[in-house]
Each structure stands twice: as C-alpha cells, then as structure tokens.
Chain A
C-alpha cells in the first residue's frame, strides 16, 4: 500500500514537472518576440538596416525613445487611448451593472425576451454592422470625437450577461435583509449589492480596457483625424509599407511605449485577470 502511494506521488511529481517544463517552454516562445521588439527598439535604425542580428551586440541606444518623446504624436495618441479605453470601460461597467441588476432582480414585462435579444448581440460580428454604424455616426456627426470612439464598445452583451449572472448568484436574502434595514432600492443596489460584484466588475473592466486599448478597426474607421488617432492607429500610421525595414527601431520603440500602460494595468490587476481567465470569478 505504502509503495503504491509512494509511486503515485512520484508519478504526480513527475507529471507536475513535465507540465512546468512545458509551461516554461511556452512562456519562452511567447516572451522572445517581446524581448526581440525591446532589443530592436534599443538599436539605431541605420544599424538595423544593415543587420537585425546586431540586436545581440552593443552598442544600445535610447535614441528611438528620445525621438518619440520629442518628435512623434505618440503622446497625443496615448492620451486618446487612455481616454477612450477608460471611458469605454466605465461606460460598460455602469451600463452592464444597471442592466444586470435589472435583469436579475426586477420583474417587468418582456424581461426574458429582452434578455435573449441582448444575448443575440454576442453572436453578431462587428463586421456585419460596421457599415451601418459608420453611416449612423456620420449622420450624427460623431466621427472624430471621443464619443464616437467610445460609444460602440459600450453596448456590451457579454458585460450584461456576466453581471446578470453575478447578481443572480447573490442570495435574495441579502436584498431582503437590507429592505428590513430600511434601505431604499437604490441604496440596496449601490451600497449592498454593487460592492459584492467587485470581482466581476474588475474582470469586466480589465477585459473591456484591454479590448479597447488593442482595438484597431473602429478607431481607424471613425478617428480619421490624426489628432483623434488612438495608439494602435497612430503607430500603424507611421509604418510606410507592409514589410517595413526602414525605421524599424523607431517603430519598435513606439510599440514598446504603447504596451507600457497595458503592462502596468496587468501588474496591478494580475490577480483578477488570472481569476477571470481561469473562470473562478464567474
């Protein structure tokens, strides 16, 4: 018996190590391109024109970052991205929370039908509506405005679904206890239930932020004025041809610069992101 147990433990330990080794190998595969991009950003464009392998050899330079700081519109684009991503995230959180509370807690005619209609939104790809949306925003004169960049992302069927499920999971006894505690319906939502959904809010907020930050298509379609470029559109605009070889270091420096805010977000909310990806938050 003891031998069996021992061999089982050894087997498990071996399996764990195998998984760990595979994870490390995968992590290296994922990290190398990023390190390569950082390396390229630390070389002059002239050197890289001759040989990109020079990344591995000194000298390294911060000239590309200096050029960004003094010469490019990247700060403006960064600001735009921050405004659009933050605004969209806040909008999604507010709307999804209110809608989720409504679907989970309020009785009203057609509730289930409306909820199903919202869920249908999950199945409609952006490509299917982008022409109509473009026309609509054109008519409303919303192109090249922050509202124009943010509004489409605020209709978030997944957010509504997530928050509805989360509110449903909170026992109604909590609402009832608060009713007996003389709390108004809004107070029950605001002071009692909403704080209990913080894990879901964090998950939804982070994913919305990352999605908005990385979004390329709609900002490119709607924000055609250079002053309204987001980072993704702005950086892409500095690339002259598809297989660009000139200005590679500068391009990579911009890419690194653009990813810094996302990295910072990730560092602060790592716990919630991991939990969300593993499904524990829902």
Chain B
C-alpha cells in the first residue's frame, strides 16, 4: 500500500496564495487529520490531492506515481464530501456502483463489492432506496460505502461529520476509526473540530493561514505545541499566555516572572533557549489549580465560574489586569468575586520566543 508525498505544493487564486509551499509525507495506512480554522487552506489542500483543484507549483505523489497532473478519477483516491454529494436520482446501489461501472468492472465484481461494503456499513436494507428516502446518517454511510467499493489507495474525508447531530457524530466518528482498521488504505480527514482530530488521527497536521504550523501525533500537538496558534487552537479551554521575564532556576531550568510578580519554576532547559529574546509563558488550565488566597504563586479575583461536572473552570483576574483560566474540583465552592489563589504546575509550562517557536519541558533528559 503506497504512501503519499506532497513536495513544495503551492496554490494561488489570482493574487492570493491559498497554499504556500507545503511539503508533507503520509505513511501507508496512516490516518492523517488536517486541522485548522475556516479559511486556513486545509480543504483546498485535500482537494488538490483529490485532483479537484489544480496544483500551481510542486508535486503530489501516491506511491511511485506522480498524480498531480492526472484526472481525479485516475488517482485511485475516494472522497467523502461534507454534504454527502450522492446522486439523488439513483438508488443507493446505483450510487455505489456508478464509479465502478465507469471503469467497466464486470457486473459480478460490482455486485460483490457493493454487497460487501453494504454489509460492512449495515446498509444492505437501504440498497434499493433513493438518497431522499434515507436519513442524514444513512446518507453519510452510503457516501462512505461509495468510497469503499472503489478500493482506493487513499480515502479523503472533507468534514464529513459536520452535518450530523452530536450523538450521531460521535457514533460515526467511531465507525470511521473502525473502518480505517478494516481497509488497507491511508486516510486524510479534514476538520476544524479538535476532538475529531485528537480521537481519530495517527498524526495531525495543524494548519493556519495557508501554512502548516505543526505535524505530530495528537499528544505531541497537545503537550508540545510548536507555536502559540497550535497551543491556543488545540485544547479546551485555550492555553493561557502571559509575557514573562526569565531568570535562572534550579538544575539548569529557567524560572518565569509574570507581570504581577508571580514566579513560576519551569522544567525548560535554559541551554535550549535562544539568547536575549522576549518570551511568552503558555500554560493550560489543568496546570493551574485554584487554592485559598495566599497559598499559590499568585492571587486574583474570580470573574466567571464554569461548572463542567467533573471539574470547574475559574476565570481569575490578576493584579496586572490579565485574566487566566484555572481549574478547581467539580464540587468547587468558588463564587464570582471571591479572592482566590492560583497554584502553577510549572513542569507543564511552555515558553514561546519572539519567533513564535515553542520550547517545552525536558523529557527523558532531552531538551527541545
């Protein structure tokens, strides 16, 4: 099963560059998720791989075949669209077999593949119905079935869950994960939903502003974000940021001084940091615990309290006017306008330099 290689791919619409010199390798049978906000270029990149958008510069390879000059139907890719894109006048069976008939596969083979895919997706009873006669979730399965029967080298999913209700979205997400285990092909899944990305991906490509911000496993993206954008886009609530002054801490690590005077001892190796730069501290709410005033590194006033059941998020206004989000227990008694302390777990803190590069805590004796 071939891998996919994008080499310096660029796309422009008129004067606007929508994909800017992107290079990327996808391994055989890998589940890759393109994650980013609307307009970041993730769908355009997917469509370029599919052949639905031309490539203005660069190359796309699937295995040992360069495909960027091939028609979409010749690339051995299958795509599941956001709005299903089923042919409304054809039955489910005809929808699934249309592509196979176009390549003149024998009828028996078409029937075999359609029946097998329908069985796998549990839509056998729908085969003679038209798309208008089935539910949204069933339509999405048919769209997936239409992709499966082609036995492609690469599946492309363009935000396929965004039209489904919350419960169905979770179920379909699981089914797509199971599908990936059953089929021998790589998958690229485009979404702006970080939960979908974190739960489905082997690796995530975080995109912003037409460029790749970071490629990594879900945990790498979450715990070692390469830029402030990645740090703030992935994870809920978004990471807290604050400008800091650095000083020497114990064991060669640095300590960070917040504007309100609080000192946070990090596990970031001083030797790994670039010299004479201004830094931003990034720290997630889960590394900031609410405690009685006076017991933590800093103190502030609770402005908002969000009770999530298993935990409580407290928005704390610090002395310098900045607001940070900290966590408390699910049964927290903190109320708005309470004076609270905030305890920093500096071992999970990140520093971002003025080039927006992330620096993280030492892992297994190696600094980044």
Contacts and interface: CB of A to CB of B under 8 A. Distances in A.
Interface in A147-200: 171, 173-174, 176-183, 187, 191-192, 195-196, 198
A179 B73 contact: yes
Contacts of B146: 177, 181
B102 A196 contact: no
Contact of A180 (B73, B87, B89): B73
Contacts of B98: 178, 181, 183, 191
A72 B51 CA distance: 65
B85 A176 contact: yes
A180 B53 CA distance: 12
A181 B146 CA distance: 9
A196 B99 contact: no
A182 B83 contact: no
B50 interface: yes
Contacts of B174: none
A211 B328 CA distance: 76
A192 B87 contact: yes
Contacts of B102: 181-183, 187
Interface in A193-229: 195-196, 198
Interface in B24-72: 50-52, 71-72
Contact of B89 (A179, A181, A195): A195
B340 to A, nearest CB: 48
Contacts of B86: 177
Contacts of A182: 73-74, 99, 102-103
B281 interface: no
B141 to A, nearest CB: 15
A173 B81 contact: yes
A65 B87 CA distance: 50
Nearest to A184: B102
A174 B87 contact: yes
Contacts of B52: 176, 179-180
Interface in B74-92: 74, 77-79, 81-83, 85-89
Nearest to A181: B99
A192 B50 CA distance: 20
Interface residues of B, number: 23
Contacts of A195: 89
Nearest to A195: B89
A161 to B, nearest CB: 23
Given A182-B103, A183-B98, A183-B102, A177 B85 contact: yes
Contacts of A177: 79, 81, 85-87, 146
B85 A179 contact: no
A181 B98 CA distance: 7
A195 to B, nearest CB: 4
A184 to B, nearest CB: 8
Contacts of B99: 180-183
Contacts of B71: 179
Most buried by B among A174, A180, A191: A180
Given A176-B52, A183-B102, A196 B79 contact: no
Contacts of A179: 51-52, 71-73
B103 to A, nearest CB: 5
B73 A181 contact: yes
B325 to A, nearest CB: 39
A176 B88 contact: no
A80 B24 CA distance: 68
A174 B73 CA distance: 14
A183 B88 contact: no
B50 A180 contact: yes
Interface string B341-359: 0000000000000000000
A187 B89 CA distance: 15
Contacts of A173: 81-83, 85
Interface string B277-298: 0000000000000000000000
Interface of B: 50-52, 71-74, 77-79, 81-83, 85-89, 98-99, 102-103, 146
Given A176-B72, A179-B52, A182-B102, 9 more contacts: A177-B85, A177-B146, A180-B50, A180-B72, A180-B99, A181-B73, A182-B103, A191-B98, A196-B89
21 contacts: A173-B81, A173-B83, A174-B85, A174-B87, A176-B50, A176-B52, A177-B81, A177-B85, A177-B87, A177-B146, A178-B87, A178-B98, A179-B52, A179-B73, A180-B52, A180-B73, A183-B98, A183-B99, A187-B102, A195-B89, A196-B89
Top 10 A-B pairs ranked by shortest CB distance?
A: A182-B73, A181-B99, A173-B85, A177-B85, A182-B102, A195-B89, A179-B72, A173-B81, A180-B72, A176-B52
